[in-house]
Amino acid sequence: MPSSVLRLLGAADLLSSTAKRRQTQSVSNWGDNPSGLSAMIVYIPNKVAEMTAIIRGLHPCGGTGQMYQSMTPLPPTPSDWASNKSLAHNGGGDFQGLVGMVPGAV
């Protein structure tokens, strides 16, 4: 295996092990959450840029939710992404709960 590939794999392993040691915080009372999403998992890196991105995620219903959760810090409950509530603006679905997370994260 070329040494550049080995260095890249070593760097990826170091980054992933460093990220695993950092803590996340579960927040359940973040505001507008009409469908009762169970938790918002907050992870803030040690260094935060002034104009940093906020990443939100909601894992899909069905499939392998446990595998998805093991790869991400998201709760293991399915979303209602195709319901009439989530497809309507301010309809009261899970997506409205996701939008409600943003002011708390900012």
Q: The tokens 């070329």 sit on which residue?
A: 2
Given a contact cutoff of 8 angstroms between Cβ atoms, the answer to whether 94 and 81 are in contact is yes
pTM assigned to the model: 0.41
Higher-confidence residue of 16 and 94: namely 94
Domain assignment present for 84? yes
Domain assignment present for 9? no
pLDDT at 13: 43
Domain count across the chain:
1
Domain assignment present for 29? yes
Tens of pLDDT, residues 39-78: 677 777 777 778 777 766 665 555 444 555 566 654 455 5
Domain assignment present for 3? no
